[in-house]
Amino acid sequence: MTNVATNNEQLLRDFILENYLFTDDQSKLNNADSFLDTGILDSMGILELIYFLDEELSIKVEPNEMIPTNLDSINNLLAFIEKKQA
Amino acid sequence: MCGIAGIIRTSPNSTNSIAKSILGEMADQIIHRGPDESGIYCDEIVGFSHRRLSIIDLSSGQQPMFSPSRDISLVFNGEIFNYIELRDDLIKKGHQFITQSDTEVIIHLYQEYGLDFVQYLNGQFAIALWDSRQKRFVLVRDRVGICPLYYTNENGQLIFASEIKALKPALANGLTLCKETLDQIFTFWAPVSPNTIFENVFEVSPGQMLVIENGQLNSHKYWDWQFSQDDYLQSSESQQAEELHDLLIDATKIRLRADVPVGAYLSGGLDSSVLVAMIHHYGGVPLRTFSLNFSEAGFDEKSYQSSLIQHLQADHSHLMVKTEDIAQNFKQTIYQTETPILRTAPVPMGMLSSLVRQNDFKVVLTGEGADEVLGGYDIFKEAKVRQFWAVNANSSFRPLLLKKLYPYLTLPDSGQGTYLKRFFGEALEQPDDICFSHLPRWTTTAKAKRFYSQELSAELSGKSKDVMLRSLPEALKQMHPFNRAQYIESKSLMAGYLLTSQGDRMLAKNSVEGRFPFLDHRVIEFANKIPPKYKMKGLNEKNLLKKAMAKYLPAEIIDRHKQPYRAPDMKAMTGDYLGEELRHHLSVSEIEKNGLFDGSKVKFLMKKADSGKALSIPESQALVGILSTQVIIDQFI
């Protein structure tokens, strides 16, 4: 994994942990955890995540990309970001 | 609106005597409910105390009141709006009256009809009656829950009062918090009746009568919201609109009966506008209105208020609520709600009643209840759309109706509907669940439970929904889904929150009485027979009310999209607005001291809120819920 990818991973993990799990305990979030199945994100949370991707990582999410395959876990997000930055 | 309190010895073995001084202390706790006069009665078996807000028969309506032979004594909070007609009927039957008050009518009604007396009352009431001849004690509350009434049992005594704080002087061991009720509030916004946030303290449920006779306590429901598809009216829509029109006018007119001036709340929405128009056209009294305005534009309805005031030439006062007012008035609001709340909306309502009182008014009419009775809430519409969607849960076309419901809705969606289904398709697979209409709200609210401490989570039974289900009648299963939603809404949110935390308590704190024409039981009983298709035509809410009242109102009021009453929760509870005192209640040390919530998670919640990031609905509800629970513990435990 490159440094950029590692930074992205930590950035995303911290964003989810602090804002939706209300903790800094890294053990509370696995990269494979589904945001939908675990109830981590609601409709506003998804919108905030999309905003976060735009603001922090300059990733623009198009309407047809708003699907769980791209957005529903840290792993899915990292793969999506990699694809967008390729 | 008055305040009542008292004690009855329920066990012959009880050695506790009833002290007048305790009765006096109980009444002192609720002096705000009735600052005009006070009265105490005490014998070996019962003790009554009363605080009076004088509204009808100012000179001779003092309480406790007795029958001429003094075998019946009574304290009463509320109003009997049909007391004039009842009095005339009783006089024809040979009864003789000493006063002009509605209180005396209740005593004579009881003498005439026994326990059935309550069926004759059209009003809002909490009554305690002692029949020394029959050794019978009665506690009864109005049909829908306008007037509060609480009780507890301790050492062979039943102790009752209009507010829980008035029970305290009579309790040997004070109050303790009921964690199961806290979990109900963090699911349904309010306790499931008859529970309260305090252990072993219960409310007399709306429409319930408690009778103690020969040491036995019996309870029965004398009235309930009843819906039967067999009873739906067969008349035309316009005939039903006409009948509703006439009923509402009468319900309003009898609620203007008072020996003091009567005003009205005007929000700018349909219900209060209808009400104000009825007073203007049929009330025979000067039109005096009161409104709230908000410094935050998204919450303000001033343009609609102005339109109606101009249309009806009302004498109007308004109060501008600033964001900082919410936190500044929060603690005193919670002292009155006596229960945790999840929204700050009661705070401005308390400020509004203060404006009423400053203008020397003691009584206001409000439009509360219209949404429940006549089908106005978005939750009814949403359930209708979800029912339509549930017919084909995989349809991407059917849920598009949600856009009509929430025009401002911006949903992350690719067109595949995954997120749409996840966030709005709650329970689509269970359209026959009797709580189908309310499952999305309850699921959303329950997300605030993520802030529970581990200890609290482990201790709770997790059976709040079961408690709610057990409180619902079997008949619910046979009701039309629209009526089911109405029933649940009326019994849970309306009775448990809107009429109490946001209603009676916020009025009574400033010695103001609210009156609710849409909750006249004749209006409810009629409306329950209106077929749902006329209440909500397509997604047009309160269709029949609009049809009945359109002639009195400007088109912009009739046609406006419904805006629920809200206060600026999030902004008011963060940053500099929150203030040091409230922030202290949310500190990790204070949170951990009480042990109900997770101090670390609350710290991150506050960090998020203070950063200016928008909080989601469950997060905002959690913040207000946690803070109000902390304040309750500080003030009452």
Chain A contact probe: residue of B424, B452, B602, B604 with most A CBs at under 10 A: B604
Q: Would you call A22 and B447 a contact, using CB atoms and an 8 Å cutoff? A: no
Inform me whether the C-beta atom of residue B612 falls under 8 Å from chain A C-beta atoms.
no
Q: Establish if B372 belongs to a structural domain.
A: no
Among B118, B152, B174, the domain boundary falls at B174
Tell me the pLDDT band of A51, cut-offs 50, 70 and 90: confident
- Token match 């229960």: residue? B339
SS3 B141: strand
Find the residue in A nearest to B444 (Cα). Answer: A42
**Catalytic: which of B2, B42, B147, B435?**
B2
CA B539 to chain centre: 26
- DSSP, res B279: I
B279/B475 Cα distance (integer angstroms): 37
How crowded is residue B261: how many other Cβ atoms within 10 Å of its Cβ? 14
CA distance A29 to chain B (A): 15
The two tokens of residue B65 are 């009141």
Contact B46, B18 (CB under 8 A): yes
Angle between helices B83-92 and B102-113 (to 10 degrees): 50
Q: Would you call B422 and A64 a contact, using CB atoms and an 8 Å cutoff? A: no
Tell me the pLDDT band of B390, cut-offs 50, 70 and 90: confident
Above 70 in pLDDT, residue B185? Answer: yes
Nearest to A42 among B416, B613, B616 (CB): B616
Residue B615: phi, psi to the nearest 5? -90, 145
Q: Which domains does chain A have, with CATH numbers?
A: 3-85 (1.10.1200.10)
Q: Establish if B503 belongs to a structural domain.
A: no
Please report the beta strands in B506-596, taking only residues with DSSP state E, as ranges in sequence order.
513-515
Inform me whether the C-beta atom of residue B477 falls under 8 Å from chain A C-beta atoms.
no
How crowded is residue B293: how many other Cβ atoms within 10 Å of its Cβ? 15
- Token match 């005593």: residue? B107
CA distance A46 to chain B (A): 7
Q: Please enumerate residues of A whose Cβ is less than 8 A from a Cβ of B.
A: 18-19, 22-24, 36, 39, 42-48, 50, 61, 63-68, 71
The pLDDT value recorded for residue B417 is: 65
Q: Establish if B539 belongs to a structural domain.
A: no
CA B550 to chain centre: 28
B6/B159 Cα distance (integer angstroms): 6
Instruction: Output the CA angle B370-B376-B377, nearest 5 degrees.
Output: 115
Per-residue pLDDT tens over the stretch B472-505: 999 999 999 999 999 999 999 999 999 999 999 9
Q: Establish if B151 belongs to a structural domain.
A: yes
SS3 B375: coil
C-alpha separations of A16 from A29, A54, B154 in Å: 8, 15, 50
Nearest to A67 among B410, B418, B618 (CB): B418
Complex ipTM tops 0.85:
no
CA distance B268 to chain A (A): 29
Among B174, B198, B219, the domain boundary falls at B174
Question: Which residue type sits at B70?
Answer: R
Among B155, B174, B193, the domain boundary falls at B174
Tell me the pLDDT band of A4, cut-offs 50, 70 and 90: low
Contact B501, B339 (CB under 8 A): yes
Residue B179: phi, psi to the nearest 5? -70, -35
Q: Is B28 annotated as a binding residue?
A: no
Tell me the pLDDT band of B60, cut-offs 50, 70 and 90: confident
Question: Which residue type sits at B137?
Answer: F
Residues of B in contact with A50 (CB under 8 A): 412
Q: Establish if B12 belongs to a structural domain.
A: yes
- Give the number of residues written for chain B: 637
The pLDDT value recorded for residue B505 is: 98
Q: Establish if B209 belongs to a structural domain.
A: no
What mean pLDDT is reported for chain B? 92
Check which CATH number belongs to the domain holding B10 and give it.
3.60.20.10
SS3 B379: helix
Range of the domain at B108: 3-174
Contact B614, B153 (CB under 8 A): no
Tell me the pLDDT band of B81, cut-offs 50, 70 and 90: very high
- Count Cβ neighbours within 10 Å for each residue of B378-414 and write b for 16 or more, e otherwise: ebbbbbbbbbebbeeeeeeebbebbeeeeeeeebbbb
Q: Establish if B369 belongs to a structural domain.
A: no
For residue B298, with 0-12 CB atoms within 10 Å meaning exposed, 13-18 middle and 19 or more buried, which class applies? exposed
Q: How many domains, in total, are found in chain B?
A: 2
B167/B29 Cα distance (integer angstroms): 9
- Residue B42 a catalytic site member: no
Q: Would you call A66 and B413 a contact, using CB atoms and an 8 Å cutoff? A: yes
Long-range contacts of B480-484 (CB under 8 A, 24+ apart): B480/B227, B480/B229, B480/B532, B481/B383, B481/B387, B481/B431, B481/B436, B481/B437, B482/B375, B482/B380, B482/B383, B482/B384, B482/B532, B482/B535, B482/B536, B483/B227, B483/B528, B483/B532, B484/B227, B484/B434, B484/B435, B484/B436, B484/B437
Chain A contact probe: residue of B413, B414, B617, B623 with most A CBs at under 10 A: B414
Nearest to A19 among B411, B412, B608 (CB): B608
Inform me whether the C-beta atom of residue B423 falls under 8 Å from chain A C-beta atoms.
yes
Tell me the pLDDT band of B415, cut-offs 50, 70 and 90: low
Q: Where are the alpha helices (DSSP H) in B391-436?
A: 402-405, 418-424
Residues of B in contact with A18 (CB under 8 A): 604, 607-608
Tell me the pLDDT band of B253, cut-offs 50, 70 and 90: very high
Chain B contact probe: residue of A43, A50, A67 with most B CBs at under 10 A: A43
CA distance B320 to chain A (A): 30
Query: For a pLDDT cut of 90, what percent of chain B falls above it?
Result: 74
Nearest to B418 among A19, A42, A68 (CB): A68
Angle between helices A3-20 and A74-85 (to 10 degrees): 140
Which B residues, 446 through 465, put their C-beta within 8 Å of a C-beta on chain A?
Answer: 447, 450-451
Tell me the pLDDT band of B413, cut-offs 50, 70 and 90: low
Tell me the pLDDT band of B540, cut-offs 50, 70 and 90: confident
Find the residue in A nearest to B450 (Cα). Answer: A21
Please report the beta strands in B162-230, taking only residues with DSSP state E, as ranges in sequence order.
201-203, 208-213, 216-221
Above 70 in pLDDT, residue B406? Answer: no
Above 70 in pLDDT, residue B469? Answer: yes
